[in-house]
């Protein structure tokens, strides 16, 4: 088991468990892949399926300086302003993503990952190998893996009223069948869809708030 006070993580294709003991306050910043590429300024395949200390990416002392400034501000609006300032300075002279990757990412998002590598190559006019290289650099994973994650997210957040069974959910989200969806859930979340349902229900009860999609309180994108 590894203890972290701060970390940076890229896209993951396996389940990761984390937690803490006692009372704590924390900030989580989520980027789109292309936003992360611009802000962090490094090939994102170095962060895929791993976790690193922020200072290894952003420079020695970066996380300590940010933590000290956040702790010195009592209101959350002020803390968000501190974070905005830190990130804005990272964006000065940031590398711009390839228009090819931006277009392919837009198409994958619009179809919730349900596009093949060939369809992406045809749509962007680039070969599959070139697309794979660009995706590894600027998103972190090859197109097939990115599509798999997006399809998984769609299955997680699909409205309860959109389907009558897990088999229908699998079909609507582009899986071959329910067994295919179950395998992806086990690999990406460590649990099957049926096993995740009670967790979502308990999370909704603790929050005393309705769940938007039967798993959205457990897995937020």
Which pLDDT does position 211 carry in this prediction?
Answer: 36
Outline where 41-111 has alpha helix (H): 54-58, 62-72, 76-90, 99-110
Give the tokens for residue 6.
Answer: 């701060």
Give the tokens for residue 89.
Answer: 């300075």
Residues 6 or more apart whose CB falls under 8 angstroms from that of 135 comprise 101, 104, 141, 142, 143, 146
Mean pLDDT of 128-157: 93
Residues, the chain: 221
Q: Is 38:105 a contact under the CB 8 Å cutoff?
A: no
- pLDDT of residue 131 exceeding 90: yes
73 band by pLDDT with thresholds 50, 70 and 90: very high
Distance CA(15)–CA(49), nearest Å, equals 10
Q: What is the pTM of this model?
A: 0.81
Query: Which of the listed ranges 24-33, 124-133, 205-214 does the model predict with the highest average pLDDT?
Result: 124-133
């Amino acid at each position: 088991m590894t203890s972290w006070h701060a970390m940076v993580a890229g896209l993951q294709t396996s389940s990761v468990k984390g937690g803490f003991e006692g009372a704590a306050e924390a900030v989580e910043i989520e980027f789109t892949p292309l936003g992360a590429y611009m802000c962090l300024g490094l090939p994102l395949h170095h962060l895929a399926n791993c976790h690193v200390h922020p200072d290894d990416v952003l420079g020695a002392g970066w996380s300590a300086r940010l933590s000290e400034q956040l702790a010195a501000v009592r209101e959350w609006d002020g803390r968000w302003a501190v974070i905005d300032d830190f990130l804005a300075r990272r964006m000065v002279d940031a590398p711009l993503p390839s228009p090819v990757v931006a277009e392919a990412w837009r198409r994958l998002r619009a179809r919730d990952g349900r596009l093949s590598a060939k369809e992406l190559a045809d749509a962007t006019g680039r070969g599959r190998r070139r697309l794979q290289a660009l995706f590894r650099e600027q998103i972190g994973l090859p197109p097939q893996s990115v599509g798999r994650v997006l399809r998984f997210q769609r299955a997680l957040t699909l409205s309860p009223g959109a389907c009558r069974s897990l088999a229908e959910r699998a079909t609507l989200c582009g899986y071959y069948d329910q067994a295919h969806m179950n395998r992806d859930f086990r690999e990406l979340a460590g649990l099957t869809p049926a096993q995740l349902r009670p967790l979502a229900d308990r999370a909704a009860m603790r929050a005393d708030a309705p769940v938007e999609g039967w798993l959205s309180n457990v897995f937020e994108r």
